Structures are given as structure tokens and as C-alpha cells.
Amino acid sequence: MTREAVTREAEEPGTVPRGIVVVGNGMAGSRLVSEIRARDPRVPLTVFGAEARRPYNRVLLSNVLAGAARADQIGLVDPAWYETSGVDARLGVEVVRVDREARTVHGSDGSAVPYGTLVIATGSSSFVPPIPGTEGGLPAGAVAFRTLDDCEAIIGAAEGARRAVVIGGGLLGVEAARGLAGRGLEVTVAHLAGHLMDRQLDAGAGKVLARTLGRLGVRARLEAVVTGIRTAPDRDGAARVNGVELAAPGGGAEAAEAAEVLDADLVVLACGVRPEVGLARAAGLEVDRGIVVDETLRSVSDPSVRAIGECSQYGGTVYGLVAPAWEQAAVLADLLTGADALARFTGAREITRLKAAGVDLVAMGETHHGDDDPDVEIIRFADASRGTYKKVAIREGRVIGGILLGETGTAGTLTQLYDRAAPPPADRLSLFFTGVGGARPADSPVRMPDAATVCHCNNVSKGQILECWEKGARTAEEVAARTRASTGCGGCQDTVAGIVDWLAEQDHDGPGQVRVGVGAAPGG
Amino acid sequence: MTREAVTREAEEPGTVPRGIVVVGNGMAGSRLVSEIRARDPRVPLTVFGAEARRPYNRVLLSNVLAGAARADQIGLVDPAWYETSGVDARLGVEVVRVDREARTVHGSDGSAVPYGTLVIATGSSSFVPPIPGTEGGLPAGAVAFRTLDDCEAIIGAAEGARRAVVIGGGLLGVEAARGLAGRGLEVTVAHLAGHLMDRQLDAGAGKVLARTLGRLGVRARLEAVVTGIRTAPDRDGAARVNGVELAAPGGGAEAAEAAEVLDADLVVLACGVRPEVGLARAAGLEVDRGIVVDETLRSVSDPSVRAIGECSQYGGTVYGLVAPAWEQAAVLADLLTGADALARFTGAREITRLKAAGVDLVAMGETHHGDDDPDVEIIRFADASRGTYKKVAIREGRVIGGILLGETGTAGTLTQLYDRAAPPPADRLSLFFTGVGGARPADSPVRMPDAATVCHCNNVSKGQILECWEKGARTAEEVAARTRASTGCGGCQDTVAGIVDWLAEQDHDGPGQVRVGVGAAPGG
């Protein structure tokens, strides 16, 4: 490591120049490392990863669980890349202490690495609620779902299992349940709230989702208070799960007696995550729910420390989806390399996509308003037996939230309006239905403005894909390799492929045609 | 009256032939009289009407109340017609007794008329609940809304009034409230149920309706228990309404004390109607809620007695809308004149249309199913702030009910499917939105099948309008005069006009064109 190298954004003139140390090699940390290297091939760069594996796309874990992808298909960085790129990658080494005075981090392997800038990207860990029977750790057959190791453990346990209970009916729990049902298990989701995915969905959408999942073999037990995980000795005498206890509805004195037991030979815990802030807190940094940062992602306690991803908190919000984390990574790379000293993270709009076979769901923003709020226009369409539920909320002439469940054909239109807090079309139906009232779907390549975001995870616009085509990319894979479009949650794969097909068609008609669509594409 | 005349459907061979006596000259009775005369110019025919006026279209009373029609515009029969048609019309004479032994009716004027067939068409009268303060009859300024006299009384009282309370938020109450608001009064509807028009609408539609009415100046007080009508002496010392008392929410011991008073100088009672069956009951006929009849509209107690309209009950149902009453009149005219001895009334589907400026509403069939019923597909669209609420219920592949509120462009399509218990289109959206998914509105004349009902009140098909055109009718008025289409609730006026315009256009293109649409029109 070149101690003499300087970070381009010299923070404290006169001090000894030191390198960048990134703690955490998950979605945020690994992205930051590659974003920095893309901008600056030389700045000294060390990354610590607690997992010994190369970084992987956590968003796609549910695909692995469902059997739709293999573990080796979701890797984010080729291990050889670290070597060729001059990144000091310490995989399998946990950082156990930060000495802010000495500006040094200490690894679990006894190593110490000084930093000019420390970036904390420790993410979050699964929250395991205090369920009786889990005090000494989870028994065999029970897994908290968070990492690729967890995912492989679940898949292993599912092999011999017949009945699974997923505790927690949020996004991750629903994805896990659907994946397990796809593997042939009888699956019950035990969820504390009155409807599934209650954070993202209103009650109406939650009901329709439950009905759709029911058809796919997933039963939902709502308002379910889990009071225990039951075990029995297996052949080797070790405790192994055989059931999940639920309190009687309403609770009360007789709840314990009236407890119902859901038979289960596999229990998956998906009870949410908590920001991993122990290291930061121990180092004396200001931590609320996450490490409190400003719009340069700098800790409010220490100008040499930054934090991104699920362990950070900006403007009161801990962002839990990949798109904001990757946006933060790009902003921070701009700042640390000096590529754009004015780059700022000013908050992000979160758009949730459920990735589960047979369930199409996109949800964003404020989705819980009822029809009674005089300040919010709520448009709703539902056909529960067909699994369709759509809702859009509009306030002061701006789209402030929405749900598309079952049919997501207008997701492009809706997310664009939501992203930009743009006014909705006078014909509200075009938010719900494609080809309605003369409106064209905004995700038709011809109609889509160049500025429209195609890949929300990686913030890639249609214009950037056109530019990429102009520079020679001719397939969706080539576009993905150059722009990263479609490599996040994968939800925009069809759109990217559609744009590429359209460009190929235009090209076939004559090269001049493409430029019309591209506008002032540089280097075209 | 020609005692010797025979009713064509000779019921009891060997008896002295006698004429037809119709008791009641409202929507059902007056219609029967003209239907009989249209089929048989000679059969002896007597009609008693308790109201001295000529019969009028009760459905349009709300238009009169709203000022959109004058009383003299809603008459159904020209008084001179009775004379020229040989109908013995006894207007202003109430029938006080039926002597079934002697087959004779006795009038309030002391007259006695023998009958071969007696038709009871006494309709219904408004139900006035036992509200304290109304024991000795309604005080000045309070009117139960049912007849044209009531309507004129309300209009008179509204002249000097500022605040009106309508008791009852059913169809009639809502129409009355809208009409009074249109006359500039502050109007409150006090309704016992949790939402307006709860018989026809589900809670969601009721809420949207209340919101729309709110914008039109009508306030809804729901779950309102009226405990009294308050009065104060007027200048002449007579009691005159000045308020309506409501019980405190939840009732209970303190309800009386906590009562709220709605100020009102006009109170309209629209608390529903009761079949007028006193005469029939006194005559010993079987009466349940209405006079029980079979599918020939014959009393199950007496083959010489028939009953139609709101005082009759067929198959457990008392029909409360004009279309079934008019259908019964036509069936009975066929039977009594022998025009069609096989004619039968086998029940009717009721379609409710709200007639109030600024509120478009059509409702039919089963509208109260929730999304949870696994046997019923419920499709719903709502945009409450724009006043739109649409719902369709489908069971076993048939449309069993629906609501269109705010936008009723697909009312033609929906009512046709409902009328015939027909399977809905695979593209459910075309039930809600015109021009969606390639579907054409079924009420475009070209697409509309000849069998499609255009006027539901009078059961006039598109084919009959085409036939009428072929026979020389060239305006909507001429079509209305010949087919009666559009003379009921008036809801199909635009459609009739549209068909006539379309025919005129076709005719302009060449006379051969029309026949293509008409098919095998007789006499064309």
C-alpha cells in the first residue's frame, strides 16, 4: 500500500496523507470500492469484509433461495479483481476497533491499518426477537435469513423438510416463503401485524397479496404472536425444531394455555434487521438508529469518518434498499476522489420491488392514506380474485406514493412520476393501465424521455443506454457490463432488453435514425 | 259501461261477463290502463285514482323538486284520452271496500262497480316513523315526500326557508336533498345507517357519494337517530318546525340530554315506503309484505283478483322501481286482452339510477360483497376526490351486481350484462372504462346488438327503435311517442338520440345501409 498517496479531497492540509479504509464489503462497501477504483486507479484503498466470501448481491438471495439462481451467479466482484486493481481486500477479517485518535482500525486478525478517511459500511444484521427457546442460540432447523450462508443453510434444511414456518411477513419473509413453497414445502408465514408487508402496503394490498400467496402454497397467519419455538431431540439427541407456538388471539391470561402450535421442521426468521452500529458507537461516533451523517456522508462527530448504506442515517432516515446505498457509494466516490467535489446525497425515494415467482409487486412512498384524507387524492383499482391491487396517492398535484400488485405494466410510468415528485397525467387511468385513453406507456422506448431512469438500483437513464449503444454495445449484456443497468434487483431487465431491441431495429432502418432518439449524445 | 263485454281471457266459463276494474292510477295502474287499451279498444275498463290529478311520472318528481321540470311536464295521460278511449276514469275517488263475494268495488263517493277482473295497483305510501312531535300529524314545514302534492308543498315551504333537514338518506332522500340544495338551501341529510343509500350501495360508494354531495352543498349526518322534530309557534300561533333532534351517538341513558339539534325551517321525511295493502287485507286476500301473486300476477287467494306494482309481491319480492311495474302492466295487459295468453312475469332485475344534477349513479344487484368472499370476484375502482367509485361483482362467471358512481359511461354495457346474467368480458376493465383494451362501448349504436335493451324502464330494445325508424319515425321525440323509450326515468335519452342520429347518418349514406343494421325488421 502506498502510504504517500493522497486522497484527492484533501481534508486537512498539512497532515500526513493516508489512504481510504472501508469497513464492510456488502452491497454498499463493495460498491464504493469499485466506484472509487473506477474514478481513481491509484488512491490507497483497503476494504475489510467480515464474510470470507467475495461480495454478493444480497438482493438476489431470494432468487437463490427459490432456486432461480445459484450462489455463484450473484457475486458482485471477481476476487482476482482486487489484485489487479491494487485494492487491499481483507476478506474474513472483522474490524474490532476503531482508534479515532490514532486514525487506525484494528482487525480481528490482529492487524492495524491507519486511515486518512474511514468509511463505515457495516450494513445491518438480522433482528432475532427474544422468543423462548432461542436464548442459547437458534436450534437446528431454525435460521435467521440474512446472508448467503443463511440462505445455503435454509436450502440444506429444506431438503429433508416438509413444513416450514416463516416468522415475519415483511418483504424478506414473503420472498423467503414464496421461495420455500416453490421448493415444494408447505409454508406458513406468521406475521405480527394485521396484513403482510405492512410497512410498504396498505391493508387492501396486503389482503390481495395474501390471497395470491395462498394460491402459490403460502398460508398467512396474521396478528400472530410467536411465543416459542418447540424442539424435539433428533437422532443424535440434539434439539431440532418441530413447531412454532402462537399465542391465543387477544392474548390475556389464558393465552399460554390456548396456544396453537404450527408444525414445522424448518423455521426461518425474517423479523427485520438492525443497523450494525456497535463499532461506531464504541468509537464514540454519534449514533441514532444509524450513524448520523450529513449530505457528504460524513459523520457529524468526526470529519475523517464517513458512513454509507444501512448502518448510516441521513436526515432522520436509515435507508434499507439497495438504490440509496449505491447512490451514496457513487456520491462518496466522487467526493473522495475529487471527481465531483460538489456531489451530495440529499435523500432518496425508496421503491420496493418484490422478487418472487408469480407475484409482481412494486410499492413506493406513502401508501397508507385512506379515502377520507381530504388533502390526498387516492386512486384505487382492485380485482382481488385475479390478484390485482393498484393504488396511487397524490397530494398537491404530485405523486407521493403507490402500489402496483399483480399487474405492474405501468411501474415505469409511476416510478418516474414518484421519483421526480412529478404531476400525474390528467387521465389518472394511465397510472394503472397501459394503452388507456390514448396514453402510451412511458416505458415504450420511443416515448420515454432520455432523462428517464431505467435502472433504479444503479440510477441508469435511457440516455446513458443510448450513449452506450452509440459507443458500440450491441446486447443487453454489454449494456449491463458498461452501465450496470439491470444488475441490481434485475427488475428492469426486460426494459433494458426492449431498449436494445428497439435500437437494433432503428439501426436496421438506417444509422441516421438512432441519433434522432439520442439527441445530443456525446461521443455518438 | 258495456256489461256484456267479455275479457279476452275468459276465466270462468258460464259466468256473467264483466269488465276490468283497476284500483289505483299511479305508475302501474295508469300504465296498465293504456297497455290494455292499446291491445283492445273495446274491453270495458274502469280505473279509480285516489288523487284527483291525472297520473304523473313519479320517478321525475325529484326533477320537479330540483326545478328541472314543471309539474305539468310529467303527466303520463292526457285527461281527454280517457273520454276518447272509452275508459271510465274515476279520479279523486278512493276505493274503500272490495266485496269479493259480489265481485264489486265500492268507492268513497258511494259508487259501486262490479268487476270480472279486479286489478289492485294501489302502490305504496310513505312511511312516517313514530317521531315524537309527529303524533298528531306533521307540523307545518314538515312534509313526507311521496306525491306531486308533497312535492309542491315542499317547493312552497322552501321559498322562505334557509335550512332544510331531510330525514332518510335513501334514493329518494338523496334526490330530495340535492334538489333543495340546488334551490339554495343549506341541506343536511340525517340517515340512520352508516352510509347513504345503504340498500343500493356498499360503504365505499356511500362515502364517495357523501363527498360528492358535500361539494354540492348537502351535508350527511350518518348513524343519526332522529328523536324529535322541534317546533315553535309561527306568527299565527300554529306550530312550525324549527329543528330536528338527534340522539347522542351510542344512545344510552344520557342520550336524551346530550341530544343535538339541527336547525331547520323545512323538514322533508324520506324514510321509505310501505306497500298500500289495507284494501287487499280487508278483502281477505293473502298479503305478506305485498299482495302475494303468481307469475300471471294473480292473487294466490282469488283468481279474479290481480295485483301489480309496489303493492304486489312476486317470488318473495316487492319490486320498488318503475321498470318491473311497467313490465307487469304489459304482461297483465297481454293476459287480460288475450294478446298473449302465455305472457308471464317471472321476476325482474332492478337497476337504480339516481337522478340528481352533478351526481351520476347507477347501481344494480348485489353490491355489498367484500373482497373476502372467495366465490365472488369483486372489481373496484375508486378516485374519491374526483367522485368516482365503480364496483362490479361476478359469481360463477356472471355479473351479479355493480355500482357506477361519478362516471357512468359503461352503464349500458354493465346493465346489459347484469340484465342477462351474462359472462363479463375477459378484459374486466371494459366494465369500467370506455375505449379500454380495444373494447368498444356496447352502447355505440354500430356495436350494440339489436336485442340490447336501450330503455330499461319501458324495456325497449335497439331493434324496436330501428323498426320504428323503418316505419317512419325520424326524431327522438317520434321514437319516444311510438316506443315510449326515454319516457321513464329519462336516463336513456342520450342513447336514443344517439341511435336516431346514427340512423340519420346511415340513411344519408344510402337507404340500403339501414337495413344492414336492422336485420329482419318486420314491415321495414
CATH code for the domain in which residue B423 is found: 3.30.390
Contact (Cβ atoms closer than 8 angstroms) between residue B211 and residue B305: no
Count interface pairs A-B at CB distance under 8 A: 66
CATH of the domain at B460: 1.10.10.1100
Q: What are phi and psi of A254, to 5 degrees?
A: -85, 5
Per-residue pLDDT at B7: 44
By the 8 A CB rule, do B310 and B318 touch? yes
| Residue A6 pLDDT > 80 | no
* Residue A518 C-alpha from the chain's centroid: 31
Q: Pick the closest to residue B120 from B283, B345, B308 (CA basis).
A: B308
Query: Least CB-CB distance to A207: which of B371, B380, B386?
Result: B371
Classify residue A330 as exposed, middle or buried by CB count within 10 Å of its CB (0-12, 13-18, 19+): buried
**Residue pair B26/B57 in contact by the 8 Å Cβ criterion:** no
Domain membership of residue A64 (yes or no) is yes
Examine the domain organization and report whether B252 and B284 are in the same domain: no
Q: Are residues A282 and A161 in the same domain?
A: no
- Residue A516, pLDDT above cutoff 80: no
> A452 is in which domain, residue-wise?
443-524
The grid cell for A273 is: 434487521
CA neighbor of B302 nearest in space, from B320, B284, B276: B284
Residues of B in Cβ contact (< 8 Å) with A382: 371, 378-381
Which residues lie closer than 8 Å to A374 by C-beta, 6 or more apart?
B385
- Average pLDDT value for residue range A460-479: 86
B349: contact with A, CB 8 A cutoff: no
Residues A437 and A447 in one domain: no
Contact A378, A365 (CB under 8 A): no
Same domain, A266 and A279: no
Q: What is residue B400's three-state secondary structure? A: strand
Is A210 a domain residue?
yes
CA atoms within 13 A on the CB side of B147: 17
Span A402-413, mean pLDDT? 91
Q: Is residue A129 part of a domain?
A: no
Residues of B in contact with A379 (CB under 8 A): 381-383
- By C-alpha distance, the chain B residue nearest A382 is B380
Does residue B132 fall inside a structural domain? no
Q: For residue A452, what pLDDT band results from cuts at 50, 70 and 90?
A: confident
Has residue B309 been placed in a domain?
Answer: yes
Q: What is the pLDDT at residue B254?
A: 55
C-alpha cell, B100: 269479493
Last residue of a domain, one of A227, A244, A271: A271
CB of B381 within 8 Å of a chain A CB? The answer is yes
- Give me the percent of chain A exceeding a pLDDT of 70: 89
What is the H or E stretch that residue B207 is in? helix B203-215
Query: Taking CA atoms, what residue in A is nearest to B375?
Result: A385
CB contact, 8 Å: B203 with chain A? Answer: no
CA nearest to B36, candidates B14, B74, B5:
B5
Span B130-135, average pLDDT? 83
Angle subtended at Cα A260 by Cα A259 and Cα A262, rounded to the nearest 5 degrees = 140
Contacts of B111 (CB under 8 A, 6+ apart): B90, B93
Q: What is the tens place of the pLDDT at every residue in B376-412?
A: 999 999 998 889 999 999 999 999 999 999 999 888 8
| CB-nearest partner of A384 from B204, B371, B435 | B371
Among A369, A377, A380, the residue to mutate for chain B (most B Cβ within 10 A)? A380
- Say how far apart CA A387 and CA A150 lie, in whole Å: 31
For residue B466, the model assigns a pLDDT of 86
Average pLDDT of chain B to the nearest whole number: 87
Residue of A nearest to B426 (CA): A386
B418 shares a domain with B316 = no
Find residue A243's DSSP bridge partners: A230, A263
Does one domain contain both B162 and B254?
yes
A contacts of B202 (beta carbons < 8 Å): none
Residues B292 and B266 in one domain: no
Specify the DSSP element, H or E, that contains A469: helix A462-470
Give the Cα separation of B168 and A491 in Å (integer).
53
* Cα pseudo-dihedral A130, A131, A133, A138, rounded to 10: -70
- Per-residue confidence band for B445, with pLDDT thresholds at 50, 70 and 90: low
The pLDDT-based confidence of B435 (bands split at 50, 70, 90) is: low
**Min Cα separation B173/chain A (Å):** 23
Q: Which positions 393-412 of B are in contact with A (Cβ < 8 Å)? A: none
Do both A177 and A95 map to the same domain?
A: no
- Asked if pLDDT for residue A436 goes beyond 60, the answer is no
Asked if A289 reaches chain B (Cβ–Cβ under 8 Å), the answer is: no
Distance from CA of A425 to the nearest CA of B (A): 14
- Which neighbouring-strand residues pair with B307? B120
Contacts of A101 by beta carbon, 8 Å cutoff, 6+ apart: none
Q: With bands split at pLDDT 50, 70 and 90, how would you rate the model's confidence at A327?
A: very high
Question: Same domain for B186 and B210?
Answer: yes
Give the β-pairing of B186-190 and B163-167. Answer: parallel
Interface test with A, best of B207, B376, B378, B385 (most A CBs within 10 A): B385
Residue A70 is assigned to a structural domain of this protein: yes
- Asked whether B410 and B404 are in contact (CB, 8 A), the reply is yes
Chain B residues in contact with A195 by the CB 8 A cut-off are none
Report yes or no: A341 and A155 within 8 Å, Cβ to Cβ.
no
Q: Find all residues with CB under 8 Å of A252, minimum gap 6, and list them.
A: none
Strand-pairing partners, residue B114, are B104
What's the confidence (pLDDT) of residue A158? 93
Q: Do A381 and B380 touch (CB under 8 A)?
A: yes
Question: What 3-state DSSP class applies to A193?
Answer: coil
Please tell me which of the candidates B374, B377, B383 has its beta carbon nearest to residue A383: B377
A8 close to B (CB below 8 A) = no
Nearest-CB residue to B433 (from A207, A384, A436): A436
- Is 60 exceeded by the pLDDT of residue A444? no
State how far the Cα of B265 lies from the Cα of A254, in Å rounded to an integer: 58
| Residue listed under C-alpha cell 321498470 | B323
My answer on whether A26 and A114 are in the same domain is yes
How confident is the model at residue B514, as a pLDDT? 36
User: What is residue B223's predicted lDDT score, i.e. its pLDDT?
Assistant: 95
Residue A387 resides in a domain: yes
Secondary structure of A328-341 in the HEC alphabet? HHHHHHHHHHCCCC
Interface test with A, best of B211, B377, B383 (most A CBs within 10 A): B383
Q: Is residue B442 within 8 Å of residue B424, measured between CB atoms?
A: no
All cell numbers assigned to A398? 404530485
A274 touches chain B (CB under 8 A): no
Interface of B with A in 222-251 (CB under 8 A): none
Residue in chain B lying closest to A381 (CA): B381
Most A-contacting residue of B376, B378, B380, B389 (CB-CB within 10 A), to test interface: B380
Taken as a whole, chain B contains a residue count of 524
Q: Quick one: DSSP state of residue A315?
A: T
Report the helix count and the strand count for chain B, using DSSP H and E. Answer: 13, 27
- State how far the Cα of A225 lies from the Cα of A250, in Å rounded to an integer: 10
Contacts of B382 in chain A (CB under 8 A): 371, 378-381
CB proximity A433 to B under 8 Å: yes
Cα distances (angstroms) measured from residue B306 to each of B14, B121, B342, B499: 21, 9, 16, 37
Least confident of A295-299, B215-219, B357-361: B357-361
**Taking CA atoms, what residue in B is nearest to A377?**
B385
Which residues does chain A have within 8 Å of residue B429's beta carbon, measured at their own beta carbons? 433, 436
- Closest residue in B to A370 (Cα–Cα): B384
pLDDT score for A185: 95
Is A81 strand, coil or helix? helix
Q: What is the DSSP string of A61-104?
A: HHHHHHTSS-GGGSBSS-HHHHHHTT-EEEET--EEEEETTTTE
Select from A371, A375, A377 the residue whose CB has the most chain B CBs within 10 Å, as the one to mutate to test that interface.
Answer: A371
Mean per-residue pLDDT for A226-236? 91
Average pLDDT for B47-71:
91
Which pairing describes strands B117-120 and A239-246: parallel, antiparallel, or unpaired? unpaired
- Of B441, B389, B448, B395, the closest CA to residue B422 belongs to B395
Q: Do B435 and A433 touch (CB under 8 A)?
A: no
pLDDT of amino acid A473: 87
A221 touches chain B (CB under 8 A): no
Q: Compute the Cα dihedral for A367, A370, A371, A374 and give only its sign.
A: negative
Q: Which of A371, A372, A437 sits opposite B382 (nearest CB)?
A: A371
Query: Cell numbers 432456486 label which residue?
Result: A67
Residue B84 shares a structural domain with residue B193:
no
Phi and psi at B339, nearest 5°, equal: -60, -35
Is B358 among the domain residues? no
Q: How much is the mean pLDDT over chain A? A: 87
Does the beta carbon of A203 lie under 8 angstroms from any beta carbon of chain B? no
Please answer whether residues B123 and B146 qualify as being in contact, where contact means their C-beta atoms are separated by less than 8 angstroms. no
Return the residue matching grid coordinates 439520442.
Answer: A518
Of A207, A382, A435, the CB nearest to B380: A382
Q: Which amino acid is at A188?
A: T
Q: Which residues pair with A163 in a beta bridge?
A: A186
Q: Is A383's Cβ below 8 Å from some Cβ in B?
A: yes
Q: Which of A129-133, A386-390, B139-143, B190-194 has the lowest mean pLDDT?
A: A129-133
φ/ψ of B6, rounded to 5, equals: -115, 135
Q: Report the chain B residue with the minimal C-alpha distance to residue A205.
A: B371
- Residues A131-141: b if buried by 16+ CB within 10 A, e if exposed: bebbeeebbeb
What is the tally of structural domains in chain A? Answer: 4
Residues B223 and B105 in one domain: no
Higher pLDDT, B209 or B479: B209
Burial class (CB in 10 A: 0-12, 13-18, 19+), A440: middle
Which backbone phi and psi does B66 adopt, to 5 degrees?
A: -75, -10
The strand ranges marked E within A192-322 are 218-221, 226-233, 239-246, 260-263, 266-269, 273-275, 291-293, 305-307, 312-314
The CATH number that applies at residue A63 is 3.50.50.60
Average pLDDT of span A300-306: 97
Contacts of B207 in chain A (CB under 8 A): 371-372
User: Chain B residue with minimal CA distance to A392?
Assistant: B383
- Residue A402 burial (C-beta neighbours within 10 Å; 0-12, 13-18, 19+): buried
CA distance A351 to A381: 20
CA distance B494 to B477: 12
State what percent of residues in chain B have pLDDT above 70.
89
Examine the fold and report which residue of A271, A300, A315 is the final residue of a domain before the chain moves on.
Answer: A271
Among B441, B473, B508, which residue terminates a domain? B441
